[in-house]
Structure 1
């Protein structure tokens, strides 16, 4: 993989820093976000969407010249602490504005209509880079570099028909079109991240004889994200599905056990919507945008 060019790297980092500063300065939630804060279930869905988006970003090419990571992706990683702090106000505001296209002054009724238009928040991370501001900016870069959009995965509604390939195992249900190749490549990257998370989890367990909550959650979220992508893009017959399902269920149960028996209403009790955590948060350099591993694990 080619190295970053100095001008591109500096320009990218500068724009990421500007976005981080912009959303980090927000002291009061917008009307759009305030509506979520009043409803714990909807807030949990929104934070889950942020986590899934972070996992998708971490699965993409780490080379800026491949144009698969935008400055919005980089800022989201920093503001959310690589997905560890999805309740951060700045991260939530950025996600609503730049991924779902919600203007901060939107009234609650328009916010709900916009979310319905994009589909449920459970699938919003997969659709987010296919609509709204992020797609337009990513497409401009990608078209210059590749002549086509390679930034976003194809949703199940947009995916081409794959049943005509019969039982050819080399296709795993795919044809030879560029969109099929992109789907296959995206799946391979997600599987690579899943395998890395699984190896880290079992490596720590064997080495230390204990299971850290951070790695358990990382394996759970990575397995879930990979499973959702495969099932949502016509790969339910992928040979790794049983293994990924087992890892997800095992890690989900283990995370609840290590959290004192609490199931997932986001693993920890909600605290004051994230602003007090900024003083403890380590702002990272552009290099961290490239990391597949969560912070401190």
Structure 2
């Protein structure tokens, strides 16, 4: 490889490493990300946007000299585990800051407008994809007729619709928590099992579920005590298995206002510098 290519490769990888380390250390969500975390539909649209961008990046040449991908593209691939984990906090923060231009120093009203515009665009793209890119106006109108029209609904009807949606999301999170708990207790005594990964997964799913229930007026849910117990147990066990090192932002679970949703993924290998390169990158 020519010397200038080697230098270019090292410089590129160094910048990717710096970005990954910067966003992988995110402990508290930015105001913009908190907006998404409070809105299940908004968070889904943001994750879909990350998946779509990752697919686009993966379709391009990984050769640096072809200049088809940027250091931001490569960092997003790593933080999102090549699109398999778009809920990673670092991936979400990087996408908001580096791709949407929503940074802590920008005016709040401008951030809100950017978020609203992005959610609207993502919803339109999703509808176009699901409808097979149809251009039939009648078909589009039929699809719109099937959707709840908040303008024509009474206040009580809108409230009931929103409550149903919140409860449905809570039910999904609880089901994920139950599966994580069942897997932990069912697998923890097996030889060769990755116990640390299992207990971290239980910790994160329990924390996510608690935060969602508390943030949406369901702190009196009958499973809250069980979920809290699982969270505290799993947090302590994870710290023990990590050699006594707790997450440095951990504290006893008190309220949802000072904590943020954790990404709930099963497996993530330790991110050493050499692991930052995208797949198929040479």
- SS for the counterpart of 2:160 is coil
CA distance in 2, matches of 1:262, 1:204: 23
Residue of structure 2 aligned with 1:28, choices 2, 12, 15:
15
1:185 is aligned to 2:168: yes
* Superposition TM-score, scaled by structure 1 size: 0.49
1:276 is aligned to 2:254: no
Is contact 2:47–2:86 with CA below 8 Å preserved after alignment?
A: no
- Once the 2 structures are TM-superposed, how far is the Cα of residue 254 of structure 1 from its aligned partner? 0.6
Over 3 Å counting, the alpha-carbon distance change for 1:85 and 1:190 in structure 2 is closer
Aligned to 1:93: 94
Task: Provide structure 1 residue ranges, at least 5 long, that are not aligned to the other structure.
Answer: 1-24, 61-66, 104-110, 119-126, 151-163, 165-173, 284-297
- Once the 2 structures are TM-superposed, how far is the Cα of residue 133 of structure 1 from its aligned partner? 5.7
Is contact 1:216–1:251 with CA below 8 Å preserved after alignment?
A: yes
- SS for the counterpart of 1:131 is helix
Is contact 1:87–1:274 with CA below 8 Å preserved after alignment?
A: no
Question: RMSD of aligned C-alpha atoms?
Answer: 5.1
1:80 is aligned to 2:69: no
| CA deviation string 1:170-213 (max 9, x = no partner) | xxxx9632x22221111111111111111111111244497711
* Superposition TM-score, scaled by structure 2 size: 0.51
Aligned to 1:102: 101
- Once the 2 structures are TM-superposed, how far is the Cα of residue 230 of structure 1 from its aligned partner? 0.8
State how 1:162-201 maps to structure 2 within 5 Å. 176-177=160-161, 179-201=162-184
CA distance in 2, matches of 1:86, 1:260: 24
| CA deviation string 1:89-128 (max 9, x = no partner) | x775324345xx326xxxxxxx3234x949xxxxxxxx99
Which of the pair has more CA radius of gyration?
A: 2
Is contact 1:224–1:248 with CA below 8 Å preserved after alignment?
A: yes
- Once the 2 structures are TM-superposed, how far is the Cα of residue 72 of structure 1 from its aligned partner? 1.5
Aligned to 1:254: 237
Aligned to 2:7: none
Aligned to 1:131: 115
CA distance in 2, matches of 1:137, 1:217: 35
Once the two structures are overlaid, the 10-residue window that deviates more, 225-234 or 78-87, is 78-87
Task: Provide structure 2 residue ranges, at least 5 long, that are not aligned to the other structure.
Answer: 1-11, 55-75, 131-142, 148-155, 251-269
Is contact 2:176–2:205 with CA below 8 Å preserved after alignment?
A: yes
